[in-house]
Structure 1
Amino acid sequence: MSEYVHYQQVSEVPGLVLSTARFAEFSFDRHFHLDFHVGLVSEGVQRQGSHGKSVLLGPGTIALMPPGEIHDGAAQDGGEYTLKTFRLSQELVAGVAGEISGRSHVPELSSAVLDDRLLAGSLVRLHDTMRDSGGAGGLDVQTQWLTLLESLLLQSRAVVPERVPGALAPAQWGRVRDYCYSRLAEKITLEELAALCGLGRFQFLKQFKLTIGMTPHAWLLRLRLEHACELLLQGSQAIATVAQAVGFYDQSHFNRAFRQAYGVAPSRFRA
C-alpha cells in the first residue's frame, strides 16, 4: 500500500482538524505542535519517542500530545501503520474544558498513553464518521464528540467536572419535547436544545439523561421512528417521503434505523 496523508477541517467545530495517514518508510523527525493531538493507530504499530523514552502505539491505545511536547515517530520493525489524529486548537480545548468544569481556565495538559481499547475504538469510529460525513453537525455526532472528549480530558486529569444538580425541571423538559415534536423534519442541534433550557451542552446532556434515561439523540431518533410508523400505517405516502418527513434525508439510513428498531424494513411494516 502506498503512503498517504489527508487533512480535513471540521467546519462545525472551529479549531478541529482530522488527519488520516498510512506510513511505512516515512518517519517523523523530532518535532512539536502548537495544538493538542489525540493520536490513534488503527492498524500496525508506531514507535514514538518522547522524554528519552520509547513507547509502542497500536490498536487500543490513545496517545495524548500537548502543545510544545517534543516527540518523534516511525513504523515499528519496518512495518506499516495507519494513524488517525484529532488536532484540537488550544482555544477549542480551553472552551470545552470550561464547559465541563463550569469555570473559565486553561487546562494543564500533559502527554500520556492511555490503554483503553473501548475508548480507542469509539474514537476511531467517531473519526471515520466525521471524515466520511464531512462534519459534526448531527445531534448524534455532536453528542459522541463531546462525550468522548470529556472522557479524554477526565482521564488525563486536565479538568474536574462540574457537579450536575439533577434532572431537568418540568418546564425545561416541556420546551425540549415541544421543540422536537414541532421540528421533526428539520436538523436539530445540541446547542439548540441546551439553549432552550438555559444550560451548557455538557450539563444539558447529563440532566437530559437523568430525566429521560436516554441520550437526546436516542430519544429523538425513537420519536422520529414512532412518527414514521404512524405515517406508514396511513399508507398514503411513499417511504422516501415518510423518511424526509421525520428528518431522514438518506433513505438507506432510515431503512437501517427502522429495521434495527422494529426488526423489519419499512416496506414490510405496512404490508
Structure 2
Amino acid sequence: MREYVHYQPVSEVPGLVLSTARFAEFSFDRHFHLDFHVGLVSEGVQRQGSHGRTVLLGPGRIALMPPGEIHDGMAEDGGEYTLKTFRLSQELVASLTEEISGRPRPPELSSAVLDDPLLAGRLMRLHDTLHDDGCAGSLDAQTQWLTLLESLLRQSRAIVPERVPGALSPGQWSRVRDYCFSRLADKITLDELAGLCGLGRFQFLKQFKLTIGMTPYAWLLRLRLERACELLLQGPQAIATVAQAVGFYDQSHFNRAFRQAYGVAPSRFRA
C-alpha cells in the first residue's frame, strides 16, 4: 500500500487546514500542535496515546485534540487506516465560539473522543465539500460549517450555545426573500443574508429556521428548482441555460438536485 499525506489550506476560511492521509507503517512520535485538531478515521483503526491512556479511533468516532496536548498515533495491530483532519487555528476557534456562544471569551477545550456515527459522517462529508476549491464560501458549506461546529463544540462541552429568541421579523424576512428572488442566478452567501437582517450568521441560521422551518440553503435550493420548472415549461431551451439562470453552474449537480426533488430528470419534466 502507498502511504500519503495531503494538506490543503482553505482560502475562504482563514485558519483552517484540511488533511487527508493513508498510513500503515508510519507512526507519529509523541508530539503536540499549536492549533485545534478534529480527527476522523474513515477506514481502519488508529491507536492514539495521551495522558497515559490509549484510545482507538475508528469509523464513527471523532477525536478532539486541543493545542499543546501531548499524544502519539499509529495503526492498530499492524493494519492500515485513512485519517481526515480539520486543523483550526486558535484565532479561528475563538471567533467561532464567540459567534456561536455570544460570549467574547476563550473556549474551554480538552481532549476527547466522541462516539457519534451520525455527526462523524456529516463531518466527513463537510471535509469532502471543503476540499473542492471555491465551495467553502457557498451557502450550503457555510451552513454545514457553522451547524456542525456548533454541535461538535456543544457535545465536547467547550461552549454553551447562545439562546436565540424569536424568529425573523416580517421586515427581515421580506428583505431576505426579495434579495434571493432578485439574485437567483448569483452566488448567495450566509454572510449576505445575515447582513440583510443585521444579525450574526449563527443567530440568523437559528431565527431563519424558526421562521420558515427550513435552513436558508434548503429554502433557496427549493426556490431555484421551482423557478427552473417555470423556465422549462416556457419552451425549448438548453438544460444548461436553465441551470445557470437559477444559480447552478454545474449541470450534473442541477440534474441530481432536480431528480431528487421531482423524481424525474429536467429533460423529462417538460416532455
TM superposition score normalised by structure 1 = 0.99
Aligned to 2:266: 266
CA contact (8 A) 1:11 1:135 kept: no
Q: Give 1:137 deviation, angstroms.
A: 1.5
Aligned to 2:198: 198
Measure, in 2, the Cα distance between the counterparts of 1:62 and 1:161.
20
State the Cα deviation string for residues 181-233 of structure 1 (Å, max 9, x = none): 00000000000000000001111000000000000000000000000000000
State the Cα deviation string for residues 70-124 of structure 1 (Å, max 9, x = none): 0000000000000000000000000010011112111110000000010001111
CA contact (8 A) 2:5 2:22 kept: yes
Aligned to 1:241: 241
Aligned to 2:232: 232
Aligned to 1:169: 169
Q: Provide structure 1 residue ranges, at least 5 long, that are not aligned to the other structure.
A: none
Q: Give 1:40 deviation, angstroms.
A: 0.3
Q: Give 1:131 deviation, angstroms.
A: 1.2
Measure, in 2, the Cα distance between the counterparts of 1:92 and 1:135.
19
Aligned to 2:159: 159
3-state SS of paired residue (1:105): coil
When the two structures are aligned, how many residues end up with a matched partner? 271
Aligned to 2:128: 128
Measure, in 2, the Cα distance between the counterparts of 1:175 and 1:92.
30
3-state SS of paired residue (2:132): helix
Aligned to 1:73: 73
Q: Give 1:129 deviation, angstroms.
A: 1.6
Over 3 Å counting, the alpha-carbon distance change for 1:266 and 1:135 in structure 2 is closer
CA contact (8 A) 2:12 2:134 kept: no
CA contact (8 A) 2:130 2:141 kept: yes
Aligned to 1:57: 57
Aligned to 2:91: 91
Measure, in 1, the Cα distance between the counterparts of 2:72 and 2:223.
49
Q: Give 1:236 deviation, angstroms.
A: 3.8
Measure, in 1, the Cα distance between the counterparts of 2:269 and 2:86.
41
Amino acid at match of 1:100: I
Measure, in 2, the Cα distance between the counterparts of 1:134 and 1:170.
33
Measure, in 2, the Cα distance between the counterparts of 1:6 and 1:134.
18
Q: Provide structure 2 residue ranges, at least 5 long, that are not aligned to the other structure.
A: none
State the Cα deviation string for residues 140-175 of structure 1 (Å, max 9, x = none): 111111100011110111111111111100000000
Measure, in 2, the Cα distance between the counterparts of 1:129 and 1:188.
17
CA contact (8 A) 1:3 1:24 kept: yes
Aligned to 1:16: 16
Identity among equivalent positions (%) equals: 87
> Which 4+ runs in 1 deviate beyond 6 A?
none
3-state SS of paired residue (1:84): strand
Q: Give 1:235 deviation, angstroms.
A: 1.2
State the Cα deviation string for residues 29-75 of structure 1 (Å, max 9, x = none): 00000000000011000000000001110000000000000000000
TM superposition score normalised by structure 2 = 0.99
